[in-house]
Amino acid sequence: LLGVACRNARALGIVLVAAAGNNGPKAPYGYPAAFDGVIAVTATDAKDGLMQQANRGAYVFLSAPGVEMVAPSGAGSDVVTGTSFAAAIVTGAIANLLNAAPDRSADWVEKVLAATARDLGPKGRDSDFGYGLLNIKAAATAKE
């Protein structure tokens, strides 16, 4: 049912982002990230290395910082790690792209993020980093 909802949302032009998961390299695919039409995000550290406990798989689309990040908490702030925090960064970047040009489609967002990502790991898209590290500066200046 959630897979159908994801496909329907994407068909309506909604950009969906989800965390790839934090269950390790041998874990099953993380859902909803692995559903078609969802941008699955994994986490990298300060040296652009993959978060050790991140899920892996062909569904991983993009990487973003997510290891030892400072985040707001009830106590003020806390240091956090996980693909969820990386997914939040990608979501914010997409919000900025769409704010700058609201007529951009979900397909355009996906294509520009893939085309402008900084390749990490093996050349091209891979099961660890996806297309690579989010490069919002390049994405924001990409041509239509």
The two tokens of residue 123 are: 């050349």
Q: What is the CATH number of the domain that holds 105?
A: 3.40.50.200
pLDDT in tens, 7-22: 999 999 999 999 999 9
Structure tokens at 60: 């991983």
pLDDT of residue 26: 95
Q: For the chain, what is the mean pLDDT?
A: 95
CA 27-29-25 angle, 5° bins: 35
pLDDT of residue 143: 77
Q: Does the global pTM surpass 0.75?
A: yes
- Give pLDDT tens digits for 25-35: 999 999 999 99
The DSSP result for 8-55, as a single string, is: HHHHTT--EEEE--SS-TTSPPPTTTTSTTEEEEEEE-TTSPBPTT--
Tens digit of pLDDT for each residue in 75-128?
899 999 999 999 999 999 999 999 999 999 999 999 999 999 999 999 999 999
pLDDT in tens, 63-88: 999 999 999 989 899 999 999 999 99
Domain count, the chain: 1
3-class secondary-structure state, position 2: helix
Q: Identify the domain containing residue 43 by its residue range.
A: 2-140
